[in-house]
């Protein structure tokens, strides 16, 4: 009887396990999080599924849910929603459903689901660091910065890849942080143009600068993109810029030689004049007493 009772218990446990698997009683997704960089937008969550799968649904605020085309009964724990979120200024919510794998059925009407926070691509995507080229105008004590367009993961109806500048248009500005290389004091300059002039720089000084995309219409903690690589340039004189060190050294030696020759001529002339004055005094007769 004891053996029979033990076997019955095992059977009941197995039946319960199989029923739970088939019925779709699966763990809910946790840590459902949006991550978006230059408008490439992913939804991530955990844990990794074992005997079940995940399906992602999304919707604009106050609209019906749609299933993400490439995230239906998936074993992955992330879903690329870049192509789904076509209205970049709308707010979206997503749900991650725990469902049976594709070859399993379930008698549940509603599967366990976990909702994300609201997400707006236009307001929330992280903006990457720009590439900046600079021109030196040392004779004018000026540096001109040219900020290149930042590509995004968004394409228009003609399959043209859009840039950060295409999307934000007049909302976009640039913030430049710069300082003398030997000083900790920083200066800020904001520009609506991608061609930025830093003027009234001191000759003989080195200046370091970096640039960030600046979107003042966003919430304060999301207004600035990532900083560009810090670059430094020396604001020397135009003369030093145009001529090689060998030419400069030769010029300095020539100047020294000219100065030495002038000094020598002055010294010789002074000696001759002194000698002439001495001879003149010797030829004058003494006055009688």
Query: Of 161, 182, 281, 158, nearest to 235 (Cα)?
Result: 182
Question: How would residue 220 be classed by pLDDT, with cut points 50, 70 and 90?
Answer: very high
The residue whose two tokens read 């080195």 is: 206
Average pLDDT score, the chain: 84
- For residues 249-256, average pLDDT: 74
The pLDDT tens digits for 99-111 are: 998 777 666 678 8
Q: Residue 236: its pLDDT value, please? A: 66
- Rounded Cα gap, residues 256 and 254, in angstroms: 5
- Assess contact for 194 and 213: CB atoms under 8 A: no
Tell me whether domains 14-124 and 132-242 share a fold. Answer: yes
pTM of the model: 0.72
Domain boundaries, the chain: 14-124, 132-242
Q: Is the pLDDT of residue 237 over 70?
A: no
Backbone angles phi, psi at 54, to 5 degrees: -125, 145
Q: Is the pLDDT of residue 187 over 50?
A: yes
Q: Is the pLDDT of residue 17 over 60?
A: no
- For residues 111-122, average pLDDT: 96
- Rounded Cα gap, residues 113 and 115, in angstroms: 7
- Rounded Cα gap, residues 212 and 99, in angstroms: 43
Q: Residue 16: its pLDDT value, please? A: 44
What is the helix (H) or strand (E) element at residue 66, kind and residue range? Answer: strand 66-67
Q: Residue 251: its pLDDT value, please? A: 64
- Range picked from 4-8, 15-19, 140-144, 272-276 for highest mean pLDDT: 140-144
For the chain, percent of residues with pLDDT exceeding 70: 79
For the chain, percent of residues with pLDDT exceeding 90: 57
Q: Residue 142: its pLDDT value, please? A: 87
Q: Residue 249: its pLDDT value, please? A: 66
- For residues 132-142, average pLDDT: 84
- Rounded Cα gap, residues 219 and 63, in angstroms: 25
Q: Residue 36: its pLDDT value, please? A: 98
List, in order, residues 6 or more apart from 141 with CB less than 8 Å away.
Answer: 199, 200, 201, 202, 203, 235
The pLDDT tens digits for 20-70 are: 444 447 899 999 999 999 999 999 999 999 989 999 999 999 899 999 999
Q: Is the pLDDT of residue 241 over 60?
A: no
What sign has the CA pseudo-torsion 156, 162, 164, 169?
A: negative
Q: Residue 109: its pLDDT value, please? A: 75
CATH for the stretch 14-124: 2.60.40.10
- Rounded Cα gap, residues 202 and 197, in angstroms: 14
Q: Residue 171: its pLDDT value, please? A: 97
Q: Residue 80: its pLDDT value, please? A: 98
Structure tokens at 151: 């590509």
Strand-pairing partners, residue 42, are 35, 80
Q: What class does CATH assign to 132-242? A: mainly beta
Q: Residue 238: its pLDDT value, please? A: 40
């Amino acid at each position: 009887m004891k053996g029979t009772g033990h076997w019955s218990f095992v059977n009941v446990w197995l039946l319960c396990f199989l029923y739970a698997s088939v019925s779709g009683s699966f763990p809910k997704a946790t840590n459902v999080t949006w991550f978006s960089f230059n408008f490439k937008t992913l939804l991530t969550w955990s844990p990794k599924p074992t005997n079940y799968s995940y399906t992602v649904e999304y919707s604009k605020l106050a609209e019906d849910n749609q299933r993400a085309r490439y995230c239906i009964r998936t074993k992955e724990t992330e879903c690329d929603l870049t192509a789904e979120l076509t209205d970049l200024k709308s707010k979206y919510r997503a749900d991650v459903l725990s469902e049976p794998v594709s070859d399993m059925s379930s008698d549940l009407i509603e599967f366990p689901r976990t909702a994300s926070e609201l997400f707006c691509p236009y307001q929330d995507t992280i903006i990457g660091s720009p590439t900046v080229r600079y021109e030196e105008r040392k004779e004018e004590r000026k540096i001109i910065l040219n900020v290149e367009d930042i590509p995004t993961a968004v394409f228009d109806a003609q399959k043209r890849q859009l840039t950060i500048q295409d999307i934000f248009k007049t909302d976009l500005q640039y913030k430049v942080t710069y300082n003398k290389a030997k000083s900790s004091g920083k200066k800020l300059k904001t520009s609506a143009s991608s061609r930025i002039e830093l003027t009234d720089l001191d000759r003989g000084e080195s200046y370091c600068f970096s640039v960030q995309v600046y979107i003042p219409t966003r919430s304060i903690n999301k207004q600035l993109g990532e900083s560009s690589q810090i670059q430094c340039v020396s604001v020397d004189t135009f003369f030093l810029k145009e001529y090689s060190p060998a030419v400069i050294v030769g010029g300095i030696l020539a100047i020294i030689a000219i100065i030495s020759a002038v000094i020598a001529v002055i010294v010789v002339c002074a000696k001759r004049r002194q000698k002439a004055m001495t001879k003149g005094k010797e030829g004058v007769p003494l006055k009688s007493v």
